[in-house]
Amino acid sequence: MRFKAFVKKTILLPVYDYYKYMDKIWVGMLISGLIALVLTLIVILSRDKIYLPKLFQSFIDIQINSIAILLSFSIAVITVLVTSDSNNIIQLRKENVDTNKSKRNDIEITLFNLLMINILTIN
């Protein structure tokens, strides 16, 4: 009986709270789980035909190249925004954010600063 209460409090309650507060997270997890299951079945059923270390090495190489390309595009976007002198960018630098969270260390955050924060945190 104690084990059941322990499992309920330490494992099931945090999992329940996580799913309760996340919107439609189960759809993403279901799709990810199905993809993982299909890939696992493919690897298991074709074990003799596929050389796994070579497959994983090529996958890692592709991932490294993809991350490098995304990083270079992110740096290019930041460079264009920082060095731009268009009327829109100048207006963004003048406009302050109208929220109660717009002050950081007694410094007003402009829309341009908010845009840069969003771009940097997404990347």
Going by pLDDT thresholds of 50, 70 and 90, the confidence category of residue 80 is confident
Q: What pLDDT score was predicted for residue 105? A: 61
| pTM, full prediction | 0.46
User: Across all residues in the chain, what is the average pLDDT?
Assistant: 78
Percent of the chain with pLDDT over 70: 72
- Read out DSSP for the chain? -HHHHHHIIIIIHHHHHHHHHSSSHHHHHHHHHHHHHHHHHHHHHTTTT--HHHHHHHHHHHHHHHHHHHHHHHHHHHHHHHH---HHHHHHHHPBP-STT-EETTEEPBHHHHHHHHHHHH-
pLDDT tens digit string along 94-121? 887 766 555 556 677 788 888 887 787 7
